[in-house]
Amino acid sequence: MKAGAIQALGAMSGTSLDGVDAAMVETDGQAIFGFGRSGYRPYSKDEQAVLAAALGLWPGEDARLTAAAEVTLNAHAELLSDFPEAELAGFHGQTLAHDPHGRGTHQLGDGAALAERLGCPVAWDFRTADVAAGGEGAPLAPFFHHACARWIGAEEPVAFLNLGGVGNVTWVDPLIAEPAMPGALLAFDTGPANAPVNDLLMARLGLAYDADGALASKGTPDEGLVEKVLAHPYFSRVPPKSLDRNDFGDLTGLCEGLSDADAAATLTALCAESVARSLALLPARPAQLLVTGGGRMNPVLMQMLAARCGIPAVAVEDVGLDGDMLEAQAFAYLAVRSARGLPLSAPGTTAVPQPQPGGQLSQPALRQTA
C-alpha cells in the first residue's frame, strides 16, 4: 500500500438489519483529509428474515448461517462494487453474537471472498484480536471519533453519542494528539437504544420503527419500569464496557401491560435515561452531545435526551458530519489503520490491557499475482 493518504471505503451493516451503508474517506489512518461519496443498499424483507434468523448464532452452530453469509456477502459486494475509486475497503460484517468474556464475538462475513468480488484489498475481522487480548471488542468507532473531533476543530472535550440498536458514547479530548494515548478517549455502551422500540413496533403493529417518535409522543413513560431495567448490574459497572443487543432480555414483554403509546414512550425514555446516567461516568461533563445513528432522527428521543441529561443534544450534522454514514466512515478509517498495523482500540475504549492493532487484510488473487 502506498504511503500517505489513500481513498478508503468503509461498510457497515448494523443490528437493526435495515441494510448496508458505504462511504469513502481520504485518510492516512491518523488524520482525516476529506469525505467522499456514500451509498446505501437496503435489505429486502426476505433478506432481513434470513439475517434475523441467524442472530445469536455462533460459527458452525446452525445451517442458517450459510444463508445469512450469502446475503451478507452479496449485499456488500453489490453496493461496494459501485465505488471503483476505492484503494482499500473496510468490511465490518454482520454482528450476530457478542460475548467478550465468554464465547467471544461473531461478525459474519468472509473478507477474502469480498476481496475477490471487488478486486480490491479488504480489511476485516476487526474485533477478534481485541477480544483475544482481553478487551470487550466494542465499541470500535472511538478512534474515528477522535479523528472527527480534530477534523471539526474541537478545542475542548466533546461526546459522540451513537444511537443504533444499542447506544454508545465516546468522550474525546481532542487536544491529545494520538487516540491510543492515556486520557484521549473513554467509550462504552450506554444501554438499549432503538432496538427495543423497533422490536415493540414490529411485534404489535408490524412497523419497523416509531417514525418521528409519533407513537411515543402520545404516551407516558412508566418510570417504574425504566428504573427496573436500570437496576441491571450492567449500569453499575465501571467502563469501558459493552453490550449485546439482547443482554436485557425481552423488553417488549416487560411492557406487556402497557398501551402501545405508553410502551413506546417507556422504551424511548429508557434509552434517554440510560444515556443520562452514563454522563456521571465520563472524565468531564461535555458541553453537548453530538448524536449520530438513527436515534437522532427521532425528535421525541432528542427532547428526552436534552431534558434528562441537562445538556444540549444535537445531530452531528450541526458540526458538518454525516450521521447516516459515520459508522461506515469509521470502518474506512479503521481499515487503513488495520492495514498499517496501527492500534484500533485502547484501554479507554474496550478495556484491552494495551493499545491493540487488529484485523485481517485480504488481497484479491489477481492483485497478489500481478
Q: How confident is the model at residue 366 (pLDDT cuts 50, 70, 90)?
A: low
Tell me: pLDDT of 304 over 50. yes
**Residue 337 contacts residue 313 (beta carbons within 8 Å):** no
Per-residue pLDDT of 124-135, as tens digits, reads 999 999 999 999
Check residue 287 and give its pLDDT: 82
- Are 76 and 111 a contacting pair, CB within 8 Å? no
Region of 6 (left: φ > 0; alpha: ψ -120 to 50; beta: rest) is beta
Q: What is the mean pLDDT of residues 212-224?
A: 98
| HSE-up (13 A, CA, CB side) for residue 286 | 31
Give me the DSSP letters along 169-231: EEEE-TTSS-TTSTTSEEEEEEEE-HHHHHHHHHHHHS-SS-GGGTTGGGS---HHHHHHHHT
Residue 326: partners with Cβ closer than 8 Å, 6 or more residues away = 141, 144, 148, 162, 292, 293, 316
DSSP class of 238: P
Q: Are 108 and 93 in contact (CB under 8 A)?
A: yes
347 half-sphere exposure, CB direction, 13 A CA radius:
5
Q: How far apart are CA 154 and CA 16, in angstroms?
A: 31
C-alpha cell at 299: 425528535
The confidence band for 63, taking pLDDT boundaries of 50, 70 and 90, is confident
Q: Any residues with CB less than 8 A from the CB of 43 and at least 6 apart, and which?
A: 17, 18, 19, 20, 51, 71, 75
Q: Which stretch of 40-44, 96-100, 154-158, 180-184 has the lowest confidence by average pLDDT? A: 96-100
DSSP assigned state of 59: T
Q: What is the mean pLDDT of residues 150-178?
A: 93
199 pLDDT higher than 50: yes
Continuous segment of H or E residues that includes residue 24: strand 19-27
The model's pLDDT over 13-40, given as tens digits with 9 standing for 90+, comes to 987 788 999 999 999 999 999 999 999 9
Is residue 231's pLDDT more than 50? yes
3-state secondary structure of 243: coil
Q: Are 110 and 69 in contact (CB under 8 A)?
A: yes
pLDDT at 101: 77
Cα 241 to Cα 125, 143, 284, 345, distances in angstroms: 20, 16, 18, 13
- Give residue 370's pLDDT: 38
Compute the average pLDDT of residues 328-351.
97
Global pTM reads 0.90
3-state secondary structure 293-321: CHHHHCHHHHHHHHHHHCCCEEEHHHHCC
Residue 10 in 3-state DSSP? Answer: strand
What pLDDT is attached to residue 367? 53
pLDDT value of residue 80: 98
The answer on pLDDT for 333 being more than 60 is yes
Q: What are 238-271's pLDDT values in tens digits?
A: 888 877 777 887 899 999 999 999 999 999 999 9
Q: Is residue 352 pLDDT above 70, yes or no?
A: yes
**pLDDT at 368 exceeding the cut of 70:** no
pLDDT at 97: 87
- In the chain the first and final C-alpha atoms are separated, in Å, by 14
Quick one: what percent of the chain has pLDDT higher than 70?
98
Closest of 160, 127, 159, 120 to residue 1, by C-alpha:
120
257 burial level (CB within 10 Å; 0-12, 13-18, 19+): exposed
Q: What percent of the chain has pLDDT over 90?
A: 83
More confident residue, 60 or 109: 109
The pLDDT of residue 246 is 74
Report pLDDT for 254: 92
Q: Is the pLDDT of residue 170 over 90?
A: yes
Q: In degrees, to the nearest 5, what angle opens at C-alpha 9 toward C-alphas 338 and 22?
A: 125
Q: Which stretch of 33-47, 83-97, 234-248, 348-362 has the lowest confidence by average pLDDT?
A: 234-248
73-112 as b/e: b if 16+ CB within 10 A:
bebbbebbeebeebbbbbbbbbbbbbebeeebbbbbbbbe
Strand, helix or coil for residue 30: coil
Q: Which domains does the chain have, with CATH numbers?
A: 6-139+328-369 (3.30.420.40), 154-319 (3.30.420.40)
Residue pair 305/291 in contact (Cβ under 8 Å)? The answer is: yes
